[in-house]
Amino acid sequence: MKLTIASLALLLALSAGLKPLPASAQTPSSARDSAPIDLTGYWVSYVTENWRYRMVTPAKGEYRRIPASPAALPLINAWDPAADEKAGLQCRSYGAAAIMNVPGRLHITWQDANTLRIDTDAGTQTRRFRFGDALASPKRDNAKAGASWQGESSAQWTKTASNEGGSSLRVVTSNLRAGYLRKNGVPYSEKTTVTEHFDLAPLAGGGQLLLVDIVVDDPVYLNAPYVTSPHFKKEPDGSKWDPTPCSSTW
Amino acid sequence: MGPDAMLIDLVARRTVPVIALGLMMVLLGASRASAQFEFTGSWAPIGTEDVQNDSLPVDYLGLALTEEGRARALAYDESQKSMIDRQCQGWGAAYGVIGPFGLVASAQTDPATNRVVSYTIESWEDWNGLTIWMDGRPRPSQYALHTQEGFTTGRWEGGALAARTTHLKVGGFIRKTGVPLSDQATLDWRFYRHGDVMTVVMIATDPIYLVEPEIISKSFRLSPRPLDYKTPCVPGYEGREPGDGIPHFLPGQNPFADEFIKFYSLPREAVLGYPETLYPEYRKKIRATYVPPPPCKEACGQAGNFVRRREN
């Protein structure tokens, strides 16, 4: 029986060694402490896709590659940036459904142990990703007061078992003010939900790439989800951080 | 100890270690498998991102080209693909993400161990497909055969499938309008899956034709129906006679050089793929001089393969 006991002991020891339980698995920990990937730091847009829709303001009336619904077309053709500016709505193209595609820099920090904060220098916007149960089910009723350009974002880490750097941050945002998907007035409504995944990839020379998969779902102005995947390069510091206010024309 | 007890002890001595070993293998396998996602299947293109713009002949937006890369691209005449010996040449490995089609991925397994030896992304009419070797085989010598599809090895890194392609043949492209990739180029791939959306990131590095890596990310949606792009390429007469020269443009004589620039009122240095145009600073630089194009009157709307929302 010595052999059998020894075999079982070996099995248990090896099993324990395969997946050592982190301290976080034994005691509740904050989102910051349990973060499987580190998104903090300064990141710059690397605009290799959708250049014509992001780096310059496209022609009025153009909405190519956006599955706009018939309800959106009158708004697209009525786009009036001067009127937006006059009405104080110059941040319409900087809302959560569009901001990650606006060329600029991100500064990602932990506001507190369960809130990841993203500041953008383009449009000087702030997004707050809240972890935990309080926002586990994002509010669907956007008619109530409090809707904003960046809305309310609930976040969770989606870890893989091996935890070798492939883990992801999932963020669901709603309670948005109606805004523009592009600078030239392609609209999204207050009923929009934005689902994002943040992933990291290595770049040559020790660099890092931040990839953001964005799915915008709007039952009013989109016929189908609008999917984009802008990416960012990590910068060593904030020396190129250049806050600029929202503009309805540029 | 009686005979029964002796028998039980004997069986236990021989079977428990085997069971223990089996359990260990199951646990190891489970640990490895749980880091992966189901890669195989049909992935339809979503088409909401513009990774190669309008395919006008001279459109190098979003690229960081060397002078040599730009010169080669401007010398390219798309009529080259009408030559009968080039019609079925294909577009090289990078076309998997810049092309318009979806991905059909399958796995090849070792029949003895059932382990994945390779993944294959099937070919299209004008693409040779991609085989990702997952069995840890070494990369061949730098002097080994270079092909349109190159040589690709892969591994699972956390929740992503990471792969690297080398051994590309001269004549590949990073954009269908003739922007070249050299045989020294490397393509690094990452495949991420979130629900029924898979996003592929391709990072192309080329010391000959690219100043900075070209990074393209493209999303695909799991298709409920199998996709089939296996239309065979059949060469035929397209106006080029045997003995005709290779169509090309001499330096400074590309008649399409200004077409895209004028069509959308775009800055020349952006259309010609200068590196500074990829960063936000450039947007601020051109703010004062940019003149937007006139309102769109035709072909203003959707282009792409959208998955329509189900009607309730």
Task: Supply the pLDDT for residue A232.
Answer: 98
Tokens of B144: 């080994």
Collapse the DSSP code of A167 into the 3-class scheme (helix H, G, I; strand E, B; otherwise coil) and give the result: coil
pLDDT in tens, chain B (312 residues): 555 555 555 555 555 554 554 444 444 444 344 458 999 999 999 988 877 655 688 999 999 999 999 999 999 998 998 898 888 888 889 988 888 889 999 999 999 999 999 999 988 877 888 999 999 999 999 999 999 999 999 999 878 999 999 999 988 899 888 999 999 999 999 999 999 999 999 999 999 999 999 999 999 999 999 998 878 888 888 888 878 899 999 999 999 999 999 988 899 999 999 999 999 999 999 999 998 889 998 888 865 544 444 443
- With beta carbons under 8 A apart, name residues in chain A contacting B294: 59
Rank A16-20, A140-144, A155-159, B55-59 by mean pLDDT and report only the highest: A155-159
Residues forming beta bridges with residue B210, ordered by sequence position: B65
Which of these, A61, A96, A92, A102, lies nearest to A79 by C-alpha position? A61
pLDDT in tens, A38-71: 999 999 999 999 999 999 999 999 999 999 999 9
Mean per-residue pLDDT for A194-198? 98
Percent of chain A with pLDDT over 70: 81
Which residue of B47, B266, B278 is in closest CB contact with A47? B278
Q: How far apart (Å, rounded) are the C-alpha atoms in residues B239 and B121?
A: 33
Which residue of A3, A164, A168 is in closest CB contact with B157? A164
Name the pTM for this structure. Answer: 0.86
Q: HSE of A78 in the Cβ direction (CA atoms, 13 Å)?
A: 8
Task: Supply the pLDDT for residue B8.
Answer: 54
Residue A166 binned pLDDT confidence (cut-offs 50, 70, 90): low
Whole-number Cα distances in Å, A106 to A157, A177, A207, A215, B48:
20, 21, 16, 19, 23
| A160/B158 Cβ within 8 A | yes
Task: Supply the pLDDT for residue A230.
Answer: 97
Closest-CA residue of A relative to B9 is A1
ipTM attached to this prediction:
0.85
Task: Supply the pLDDT for residue B172.
Answer: 87
Could you tell me which residues come within 8 angstroms of residue A145 by beta carbon, excluding any fewer than 6 positions away?
none
Mean per-residue pLDDT for A17-34? 61
- With beta carbons under 8 A apart, name residues in chain A contacting B5: none
Interface of A with B in 23-42 (CB under 8 A): none
Task: Supply the pLDDT for residue B250.
Answer: 97
| Pairing label, strands A193-203, A207-217 | antiparallel
| A10/B278 Cβ within 8 A | no
* Angstroms from B11 CA to nearest CA on chain A: 10
- Give the H or E element holding residue A153: strand A152-158
Closest-CA residue of B relative to A227 is B48
Closest-CA residue of A relative to B270 is A51
Q: Is B29 on the interface with A (CB under 8 A)?
A: no
| A66/B48 Cβ within 8 A | yes
* Angstroms from B246 CA to nearest CA on chain A: 31
Residue A2 binned pLDDT confidence (cut-offs 50, 70, 90): very low
Q: How far apart (Å, rounded) are the C-alpha atoms in residues B116 and A217?
A: 36
Mean per-residue pLDDT for A199-206? 92
Residue of B17 and A196 predicted with greater confidence: A196
Cβ atoms of B273 and B101 within 8 Å: the answer is: no
